[in-house]
């Protein structure tokens, strides 16, 4: 795929791909362990990528896209509003679990 064909939907697909390598437990509000950083036993809540690692990854991708002829920051799919919202939501979920 050429860089000019790349858009934010590809980035969201990439986020879905990354979630198969999940590392952090994100408890649902209804979970008995919600708010506990070290629960005493396992639960069925999902694992997700750590927000901080995603944020770092996407900052580097935004810069790389622009450095390699991807255009202005306005056209950068890694800086798209939907990506920022997604990352912010992930951060809030992670903060709420602790």
pLDDT tens digits for range 5-17: 778 898 888 887 8
- Residue 11 and residue 19 in contact, taking contact as beta carbons nearer than 8 Å: no
Domain total in the chain: 1
Instruction: For residues 18 and 28, give the distance between their C-alpha atoms in angstroms, rounded to a whole number.
Output: 20
Give residue-wise pLDDT tens across range 52-81.
778 888 888 888 888 887 767 778 888 888
Backbone angles phi, psi at 17, to 5 degrees: -60, -45
Q: What domain range is 39 assigned to?
A: 3-97
Where do we find the tokens 């750590």? 50
pLDDT for residue 2 is more than 60? yes
- Residue 49 and residue 24 in contact, taking contact as beta carbons nearer than 8 Å: yes
Query: Distance from first CA to last CA of the chain, Å, rounded?
Result: 40
């Amino acid at each position: 795929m050429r860089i000019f064909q790349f858009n934010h939907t590809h980035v969201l697909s990439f986020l879905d791909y990354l979630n198969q390598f999940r590392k952090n437990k994100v408890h649902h509000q209804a979970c008995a362990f919600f708010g506990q950083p070290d629960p005493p036993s396992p639960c069925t809540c999902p694992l997700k990528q750590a927000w901080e690692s995603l944020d770092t990854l996407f900052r580097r991708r935004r810069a790389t896209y622009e450095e390699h002829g991807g255009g202005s920051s306005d056209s950068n799919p890694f800086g798209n509003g939907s990506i920022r919202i997604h990352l912010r939501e992930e951060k809030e979920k992670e903060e709420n679990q602790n």
